[in-house]
Structure 1
């Protein structure tokens, strides 16, 4: 799975901020996926 850059993730108005995890970074939910954003890169960590 490819990385999605931070600005692209920010463009999604419907993304929901879930919280912060020291290991994973900032967690966002978008549609049916959860993204972890750390050091400017995000990746999908779960599909729900």
Structure 2
């Protein structure tokens, strides 16, 4: 493949796939079932292991 073919792919399908991945990662983070996991992770630095 030539440089132009790679450039065309990156400008169209590559960008689209990265946007879809980004939106999916944000949706996964803010899903309703993640509240318990985020609460545990929020308290992790303050937990006393002694």
Name the structure where helix makes up a greater proportion of residues.
2
Name the structure where strand makes up a greater proportion of residues.
1
Same fold, TM-score > 0.5, yes or no: no
Answer with 1 or 2: which has the greater Rg. 2
TM-score, length of structure 1 as denominator length? 0.20
Which has the bigger relative contact order, CA under 8 A and spacing at least 6? 1
